[in-house]
Amino acid sequence: MPTLRSRRSPLPVIAAALLLPLAACSSSDGDAASDGGGRLRVVMAFPPAQAMSPYGDDAVTLSRLAVIEGLTSLDRDGAPQPALATSWKRDNATTWTFTLRDAVFQDGTKVDADAVVRSLTAAGKASPLPRVLSDVRLTAKAQGADTVRITTKEADPLLPQRLANPSLTVLSADAYQGGKVDPAGHATGPFTLTDVKGAVAATLTRNADYWGDKAKAPGVDVTFVADGTARANALRTKAVDVAEYVPISQASLLGDGFVHEFPSARTNGLSLNTERGVFADPAMRAAAREAIDSQALVDGVYEGRADTAQGLLGPGVPWAAKDRTAPTGRAKAAGRAEVAKTKEIVLATYTNRPELPEVATIVQQQLTKRGFTVKQVVREYAQLEADALAGKYDAFIQARNTLLDTADPVSYLASDFTCDGSANISQLCDPRVDAAVAKAASLAGTEERHRAEMTAEAAVLGADALVPLVHERFVQGYDGDRVEGVVLDPMERTLITADTHIG
């Protein structure tokens, strides 16, 4: 069994290495702006995995750094709000019309209907397909210079929310060159991505031509550090102003002035490979599910800063509990003796979220107690993603925001658990689940759709495709007496905004 480094280790070597790129970035442009103080120094948890492509998880990073925008945005309740579109109307069940605002890209070209059509068409042709498009096919056509008509194959009541997804960002023509998509200097947000140093650092500069309120900070120097303790140490030593995702183990050491905890829609779960290997057998998946003790994870890893598993949707989705129904179609669990005869299973997780390796060790112990033989694979997420999506692991522990794609869990259900889902790590292909998700996606009424989504949840849990482990609470790190305007967003779309600055 792997031995983990002490949870409270200061990791001085890693922290020292972290300070070098930050110091270099800050010294290169340390001038202060009269309206917002100096440049922000931010350390992010997830290094770019797709060279800042908007079609994967890098899009979320770009959104959290206020670089990219889509036609719409979301308010704190998940309702759509104007962004590059000032208004929209539903023409019929499958057709919507969006009116664009007067705005320019960071390269000086105009935001027009052709640019929107180009960006949405490119997203629909991307491989792999962005998760937000897993359950919908859309076609965009220009209707004059400032109007776009968007048609979906099936009725999509959530289209305005869907278009706020970071993967559906609108970029200028020069972003699409040589078969690649480069958002640097070609987006519309309050900050322009001006330099990317691989998976190490990035530089942002205030966009002077932004259509909205100009950024209060002159720029942002970003460092990517997967090690959570190093991020916390950088905040503690004032090498950074904002540290994304402070580890639970570091929260008490930093103190209340630097720790900002808030509820999330994130569920940490154990995805079981339903297509091949030991867990292709429903009885083995049921045995794995019975082995998991969620409370032990809350107490032993999260120090009480998490909630025990309730289902796919936890307390961060407050309506879920009242509509929840019992899992349907569950298999009888295999006995210990039968489990002991199985081959070794490979359990994988990633280091970017510092609690997950510890979760993996406790889950390994719980599965071993049930009779499984378990091998761990723990690396950075970028090194695991392709193999996880290809179904090369028997079990995979991930932290997933269930509202990230459309602010409604129907997109999460479609991308993670349907036959054609682009984030289907469990490789689940169950007609019952597909039908339940499709029904939920077709419903315009919010309450009716929520009830249908809980029926789909019951089918997924009944298949034991994912075993919920805990529901996270987020901890972001910054000096509350010095840094203003950091956004604590349960949907994880925003962190740094035009209003974020040194007070």
* Those residues with Cβ within 8 angstroms of residue 360's Cβ, 6 or more apart along the chain or in another chain: 347, 348, 349, 376, 378, 397
* Those residues with Cβ within 8 angstroms of residue 194's Cβ, 6 or more apart along the chain or in another chain: 184, 185, 203, 204, 205
What is the pLDDT confidence band of residue 89, given thresholds at 50, 70 and 90?
very high
Is the model's pLDDT at 19 over the cut of 80?
Answer: no
- Decide if 7 is inside a domain: no
- Dist. CA 215–CA 469, nearest whole Å: 39
- Decide if 2 is inside a domain: no
Confidence (pLDDT) at 37:
61
Quote the tokens at residue 387.
């193999």
pLDDT tens sequence across 414-436: 999 999 998 999 999 999 999 99
Domain end call among 155, 178, 201: 178
For the chain, what percent of residues have pLDDT higher than 90?
A: 78
Confidence (pLDDT) at 445:
82
Amino acid at position 319, single letter = W
Look up tokens 């995805």; give the residue: 271
What is the pLDDT confidence band of residue 10, given thresholds at 50, 70 and 90?
very low
**Cβ atoms of 189 and 104 closer than 8 Å:** no
- Dist. CA 32–CA 447, nearest whole Å: 49
Is the model's pLDDT at 28 over the cut of 60?
Answer: no
* Those residues with Cβ within 8 angstroms of residue 318's Cβ, 6 or more apart along the chain or in another chain: none
Confidence (pLDDT) at 111:
98
- Which run of H or E residues covers position 152? strand 147-152
Question: Comparing C-alpha atoms, which of 194, 185, 190, 193 is closest to residue 213?
Answer: 190
Is the model's pLDDT at 23 over the cut of 50?
Answer: no
**Which whole number is the average pLDDT over 154-175?**
95
- Mean pLDDT score of the chain: 91
- Dist. CA 452–CA 435, nearest whole Å: 10
> Could you check whether the bond before residue 128 is cis, i.e. omega within 30 degrees of 0?
yes
Domain end call among 148, 178, 208: 178
Residue 478 zone, left/alpha/beta (φ > 0; ψ -120 to 50; rest): beta
**Which whole number is the average pLDDT over 254-278?**
93
Q: Both 317 and 452 in a single domain?
A: yes
Confidence (pLDDT) at 8:
34
Is the model's pLDDT at 458 over the cut of 90?
Answer: yes
Is the model's pLDDT at 170 over the cut of 70?
Answer: yes
Which of the two residues, 90 and 411, has the higher pLDDT score? Answer: 90
Is the model's pLDDT at 307 over the cut of 50?
Answer: yes
Asked which of 26-30, 184-188, 189-193, 441-445 is least confident by mean pLDDT, the reply is: 26-30
CA 460 to chain centroid: 20
Q: Both 402 and 452 in a single domain?
A: yes
Q: What is the CA radius of gyration of the chain?
A: 22
Confidence (pLDDT) at 110:
98
The residues that bridge with 243 in the sheet, in sequence order, are: 43, 477
Question: Comparing C-alpha atoms, which of 443, 400, 450, 444 is closest to residue 424?
Answer: 400
The alpha carbon torsion through 78, 79, 85, 88 (nearest 10 deg) reads 150
- Decide if 497 is inside a domain: yes
Query: How many domains does the chain divide into?
Result: 3
0.95 exceeded by the pTM? no
pLDDT tens sequence across 241-254: 999 999 888 988 99
Q: Both 452 and 343 in a single domain?
A: yes
Is the model's pLDDT at 15 over the cut of 60?
Answer: no
Q: Both 355 and 231 in a single domain?
A: no
Q: Both 235 and 321 in a single domain?
A: no
What is the pLDDT confidence band of residue 35, given thresholds at 50, 70 and 90?
very low
What is the pLDDT confidence band of residue 190, given thresholds at 50, 70 and 90?
very high
Amino acid at position 4, single letter = L
CA atoms within 13 A on the CB side of 167: 22
- Decide if 5 is inside a domain: no
Is the model's pLDDT at 324 over the cut of 90?
Answer: yes
What sign does the dihedral 66-68-71-76 (CA atoms) show? negative
> Can you spell out the DSSP letters for 404-454?
TTTSSHHHHHHHHHSTT-TT-TT----HHHHHHHHHHHT--SHHHHHHHHH
For residue 457, the enclosing domain spans 265-473
Domain end call among 133, 154, 178: 178
Look up tokens 């140490």; give the residue: 233
- Decide if 1 is inside a domain: no
Is the model's pLDDT at 378 over the cut of 90?
Answer: yes
The CATH number assigned to the domain holding 316 equals: 3.10.105.10
Q: C-alpha distances in angstroms, 122 versus 80, 131, 169, 265? A: 23, 14, 10, 29
Is the model's pLDDT at 282 over the cut of 90?
Answer: yes
- Decide if 397 is inside a domain: yes
DSSP annotation of 110 reads: B
Q: Both 250 and 312 in a single domain?
A: no
- Dist. CA 475–CA 481, nearest whole Å: 17
- Decide if 306 is inside a domain: yes
- Dist. CA 339–CA 294, nearest whole Å: 21
Number of neighbouring beta carbons within 10 Å of residue 397:
25
Is the model's pLDDT at 283 over the cut of 80?
Answer: yes
- Decide if 204 is inside a domain: yes
